[in-house]
Amino acid sequence: MTAPKQASPDSGVLEQTPAMTELVAELRAIVAEELSAADTAARVGDRLRPFLERHDLLRADQREGDEQEYRQHLLHAEEDGSFSVVSLVWLPGQRTPVHDHVSWCVVGVYLGAEVETRYRLVDDGATQFLVPEQTSVNPLHSTCGFAPPGDIHEVHNDSAGKAISIHVYGADIRKLGSSVRRRYDLPVRAS
């Protein structure tokens, strides 16, 4: 699997809840400041956090998962391509491949929790491998953000229930389909 299953919008215009429209307006103002990728991610995370407690942020169909793989719902793609918002719906046991991103990214946990492992790529001249750097549980209503380089990670839902996360990317997901830049099918070593 290289990308989540897509839930395609029926038309070019995405129907948003009033809460999502409010969030998008706040994100638009931050992105317009043209800060560094790391500073943009930090500011977006701060603004996203209170919206994670709003039960009216997502429509019912934007909370639906898929039995085969985690599912992505495109919630907003800025017309100029500067940012996008998606919900990812994870059923128990679903996970991403190890990957990195094309742009800065902020993740907020809307329902449940996610387990994230971050990796460091090592190239010893003869071979490449991954070293786990940190594994953490991202609990309900928490946010985390990052910007390339150094954003290699894997995310999964190890709970018995559904998890939903809201992702904001500094890229046009409508055009790209996913924020994944590269998938890492490499051995993992302790060090």
Q: pLDDT tens across 102-154, in order?
A: 889 999 999 999 999 999 999 988 999 999 999 999 999 999 988 888 789 99
Instruction: Judge whether 8 lies within some domain.
Output: no
Binding-site residues, please?
99, 101, 153
Tokens of 119: 């990796």
Closest by Cα among 46, 50, 44, 63 to 19: 50
Instruction: Judge whether 23 lies within some domain.
Output: yes
Binding-site residues for Fe cation, please?
99, 101, 153
Instruction: Judge whether 187 lies within some domain.
Output: no
Instruction: Judge whether 1 lies within some domain.
Output: no
Instruction: Judge whether 119 lies within some domain.
Output: yes
Name the pTM for this structure: 0.88
